Structure formats: C-alpha cells, structure tokens
C-alpha cells in the first residue's frame, strides 16, 4: 500500500484541513494517509481546544487513515525540532511521501532554497540567532537571515507555513530520507487571519476567535459538520473549550510556589525570564493580562507561551534534553480507519520503531512525559486523577469505519 504523510494539529479540524487531506491523497495517489499529530499541547505554546482523542476522531472522519502522536518534547519545540520529530516519525511509519500546506505551493522552490541555504548553513544559523536575540520571531529572523546571504530570493520565508515547509525539507535531507516531499498551496485564508471572511475556508485562528466569542454558530460554514458537532458537544459537556485561561490558576500557583532558581530549571526559562514571570503574575488576574505584562521585544508571544507550558507541566531542561538528544523511539497510534489497520498489518514487520497502542505496556521516557503532561491537561478539563490516568494509560486507539 502506498502511504503519504501529513503533519497536523487540527485545533480544530476545518475545511482547509479537509481540502489539504483530499488534495494530498489525489496528488500522491496514496492508499493511506498517515497523520503525525501533536498531543494535548501545541507548537505555539497552547493547550489544544480538545483532547488528542477528540482531535484524532476529527482527523479520521476528515480523511486521515492512521494518526500517530508527535511526542510533547517535539510538539512544543521550535520549528526545526518540531519538523525533525514529525518527519522522523513519518519515515519510521513507512510513508512514501509527505505533503505540507504552504503559501508558495511549489515544492521545487523549497528544494532550490534548501540547496542555496545549506551551502552557507553555519552563516545562516548565526544570522537567525542574531535576529532572534534582537526580538524577531523565528519566521521573521529566518527571512532576514536569508536576505543577509545575498542570494536570489525564491521563497518568502516570512510566511509561517513556508518556513515550516522549509524545515520539513531540511529535516528530510538531514535524515537522508527517501520520502518524497510535496506541497499544496493554501486556499483563501492567511495563517494569521483573525476574521472569518468570505467563502468556506478560514484560518484556525479565525475559527478559534469565533468559537471563543460564545457564538460557535458563526464558524459553522468553515468546518465539516462532525467538527461542529464535536465542538458543540464538548462545550455543552465541559462548559467551555480548553484554552490558557482554564490553566492560568495552575500556572499562577506554580509561579507563586517556586523560587527564581526553581523556575530557571524549566525548559526555555532563561536569561532572567523567571524574574519577569514572577513580577508579571503579581498584578495579572488573567493569562492574557499576564502575557501582556510579560511580553518584550526580545521574546515572541509564542516563545513565551511555550516557556509557560513547560512551567505549567514542570518540564525541566534536563528532562527535555534527555529526550531530545535522540530521535523519537516509538510510534504511538492514536487512531485508525479500516484502511489504516490494513496498512499497519502490511508494514508491521518492517517498521523501524515499535508500535504503541497501550501506554501502560511500555516504559519509554517520551511516554512518561506524555503521561505527566496529559495529567496536567486533564486538570483543565476538571477530570479526576483516576479518570485522567485511565484515559491516558488505557484508552485504545480511536477506530472509525
């Protein structure tokens, strides 16, 4: 069976995602779509609106056949590490190709840009570090670094999906992967759009804005009916969808009960950020007001949110470095269709990594971190510790026929 891979978060799954999955399948003529999906916490340093299990169901209903979890350590890292973990898992799962959405839509341009940049990679990385230290976001720093190389500009690296696509190509080359890269041009909505606009495709950012405006019906035309139903059911059941505000009391407790030296142990808390966090928290009665006080030119909003995630989850630099020093060690299956099950049966004996369907039967470091962070996520959903442990350790893969 021919398989193509996609890297996703689906926060939430919308019509643009459906378009990407269908086009990926058409372009590659794949029999099976493998989705590597972030768990309960995301790359922008946010808790997912819905649990990984609900989002897995959306993915399968929307056209994915097999959903593999991207471990927390990679899912909440900066773009290069996020991309490396994702492509490594797709390669280990036996994908023949991977297909990403981009503002460019031309994979040749990505390959050409990689060839140009790789010839001066040490200079390029030095420029990126310099611009990030000046307060530019990673995409902006990458674009400015590219300009400094004085090369013919063929790819706009200020666009978030372009820069992530560039990192996918880089990761694939670093791994010596034979997986063929392809890209689909994004339709209609820009990544950062905050309004729904015309047509039936909007950015996930705009959809989340509508969902949290307490009028979920505003977004109904921009998502499949199953997404709308799952969101509405979750909102009625839990009272609200997950966001940072639900976790702010927990974060505030961590900040109140920790000394600066204790906070400095956590991943991405450095250069005095621990002191700013403590000061910003004192007069902030919401996560948003806390972030407004915490934000400086030096750090992007996303970078600060990721640091907050690691404080919230008590993820130390030592723990993160220990996991990230080696590639992912397992393939955790979150869900599958009948096609996905058939695919796994056909490749099971040749897979490069062990399959994990029940966490309680394995002892990988990455799974221990996943269990720990999932227990924290469950607190935002008001689940008891027993309910949370049962969900994380004993939930079987989601099956959709």
**Residue 153: pLDDT band with limits 50, 70, 90:** low
Strand partners, 316: 266
Burial 157-190 (b: 16+ CB within 10 A, else e): bbbbbbbbbbbbbbbbeeeebebebbbbebebbb
Cα separation, 256 vs 268, in Å, equals 19
Pairwise CA distance, residues 293 & 251, whole Å: 15
**More confidently predicted of 42 and 196:** 42
Q: What is the rounded distance in angstroms from the CA atom of residue 21 to the CA atom of residue 383? A: 33
The full set of domains in the chain, from first to last, is: 3-103+159-238+328-400 (3.40.50.620), 244-323 (no CATH)
Q: Report the predicted TM-score, pTM, of the whole model to 2 decimal places.
A: 0.92
Nearest to residue 102, comparing CAs of 168, 15, 201, 33?
A: 168
Burial of 86 (0-12, 13-18, 19+ CB in 10 A): buried
Confidence band for 163, pLDDT divided at 50, 70 and 90: confident
| Coil vs helix vs strand at 214 | coil
- Residue 392 labelled as part of a binding site: no
Q: Give SS3 for 336.
A: strand
Average pLDDT score over residue span 316-326: 95
Tell me whether residue 127 is annotated as binding: no
Give the mean pLDDT of the chain.
90
16 annotated as a binding-site residue: yes
Tens of pLDDT along 46-60? 999 999 999 999 999
Q: Above pLDDT 70, what percent of the chain?
A: 96
Q: Are 74 and 39 in contact (CB under 8 A)?
A: no
End-to-end CA distance of the chain: 18
Mean pLDDT to the nearest integer, 387-394: 82
Residue 214 has a pLDDT of 64
Annotated binding-site residue? 214: no
Instruction: Identify the CA nearest to 74 among candidates 66, 82, 64, 63.
Output: 82
What residues have CB less than 8 Å from 47, skipping those under 6 apart? 40, 41, 242, 243, 244, 246, 247, 309, 377, 380
- Find out whether 19 is annotated in a ligand binding site: yes
260 marked ligand binding residue: no
- Let me know if 348 is exposed, middle or buried by CB neighbors in 10 A (0-12, 13-18, 19+): exposed
Residue 343 assigned as binding residue: no
Residue 9 assigned to a binding site: yes
Tell me: the pLDDT tens digits for 255-305?
A: 999 999 999 999 999 989 999 999 999 889 999 999 999 998 778 899 999
Is 267 marked as binding a ligand? Answer: no
321 annotated ligand binder: no
Tell me if 161 is assigned to a ligand binding site: yes
Is 186 assigned to a binding site?
A: yes
DSSP string, 131-170: HHHTT--HHHHHHHHHHHTT----S-TTSHHHHHHHHHHH
pLDDT, position 194: 56
Tens digit of each residue's pLDDT (9 = 90 or more) over 234-261: 888 777 789 999 999 999 999 999 999 9
Least confident interval from 137-151, 168-182, 215-229, 308-322: 137-151
8 A C-beta contact, residue 72 and residue 351: no
Is residue 17 part of an annotated ligand binding site?
Answer: yes
What percentage of the chain exceeds 90 in pLDDT? 65
- At 325-384, the pLDDT tens digits run 999 999 999 999 999 999 999 999 999 899 999 888 899 999 999 999 999 999 887 777
Give SS3 for 182: strand
Q: What is the pLDDT of residues 15-32, one digit of tens each?
A: 999 999 999 999 999 999
Strand partners for 35: 6, 67
């Amino acid at each position: 069976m021919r398989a193509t891979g996609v890297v996703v978060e689906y926060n939430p799954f919308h019509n643009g995602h459906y378009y990407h999955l269908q086009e990926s399948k058409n372009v590659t003529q794949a029999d099976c779509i493998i989705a590597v999906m972030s768990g309960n916490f995301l790359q922008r340093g946010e808790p997912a609106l819905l649990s990984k299990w609900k989002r897995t169901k959306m993915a399968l209903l929307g056209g994915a056949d097999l959903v593999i979890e991207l471990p927390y350590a990679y899912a909440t890292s900066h773009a290069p590490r996020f991309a490396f973990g994702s492509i490594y898992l797709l390669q280990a799962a036996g994908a023949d190709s991977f297909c990403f959405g981009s503002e460019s839509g031309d994979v040749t341009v990505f390959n050409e840009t990689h060839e140009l940049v790789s010839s001066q990679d040490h200079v390029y990385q030095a420029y990126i570090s310099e611009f990030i230290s000046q307060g530019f976001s990673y995409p902006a720093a990458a674009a400015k670094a590219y300009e400094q190389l004085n090369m013919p500009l063929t790819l706009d690296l200020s666009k978030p999906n372009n820069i992530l696509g560039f990192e996918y190509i880089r990761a694939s080359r670093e791994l010596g992967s034979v997986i063929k890269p392809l890209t689909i041009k994004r339709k209609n909505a820009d990544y950062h759009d905050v309004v729904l606009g015309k047509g039936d495709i909007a950015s996930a950012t705009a959809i989340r804005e509508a969902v949290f405006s307490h009028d979920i019906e505003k977004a109904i035309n921009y998502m499949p009916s199953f997404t709308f139903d799952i969101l509405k059911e979750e909102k009625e059941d839990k009272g609200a969808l997950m966001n940072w505000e639900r976790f702010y009391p927990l974060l505030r407790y961590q900040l109140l009960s920790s000394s600066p030296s204790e906070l400095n142990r956590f991943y991405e808390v450095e250069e005095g950020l621990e002191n700013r966090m403590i000061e910003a928290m004192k007069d902030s009665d919401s996560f948003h007001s806390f972030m407004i006080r915490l934000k400086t030119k030096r750090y992007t909003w996303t970078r600060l949110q990721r640091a907050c995630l690691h404080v919230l989850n008590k993820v130390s630099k030592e723990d993160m470095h220990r996991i990230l020093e080696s590639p992912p060690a397992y393939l955790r299956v979150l869900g599958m269709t009948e096609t996905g099950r058939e695919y796994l049966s056909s490749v099971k004996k040749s897979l490069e990594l062990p399959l994990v369907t029940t966490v309680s039967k394995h002892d990988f470091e990455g799974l221990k971190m996943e269990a720990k962070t999932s227990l924290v996520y469950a607190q935002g959903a008001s689940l008891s510790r027993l309910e949370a442990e049962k969900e994380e350790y004993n939930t079987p893969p989601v099956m959709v026929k």
